[in-house]
Amino acid sequence: MADSARERIQKHLVTGDNRLKQGVSPEKARESYEAALRLAQEAGLEDRIRPLVEVRLADLERLWPGSTRSSRPEP
């Protein structure tokens, strides 16, 4: 189970990274990173995965301010 969870987490992280490289919206990348973190929480791997996700979310926020918010900003 742990190997399967790790593979799925890695897939979400790579998907988020690829979405950014391909110019897909930063919100889609954020969704992938958050999915990886949810899987990590469920698998008891949050302590190892959270720092990886936090770095990626910080980069998103730096490059696209407001992109790490879970809800859309008010106009």
- Backbone dihedral angles phi then psi of residue 72, each to the nearest 5 degrees: -65, 140
Sign of the Cα torsion 64, 24, 68, 55 reads: negative
pLDDT in tens, 8-65: 999 999 999 999 889 888 999 999 999 999 999 999 999 999 999 999 999 998 888 8
pTM for the model stands at 0.83
For residues 73 and 63, the model is more confident at 63
Higher-pLDDT residue of 75 and 59 is 59
Q: How far apart are CA 24 and CA 8, in angstroms?
A: 21
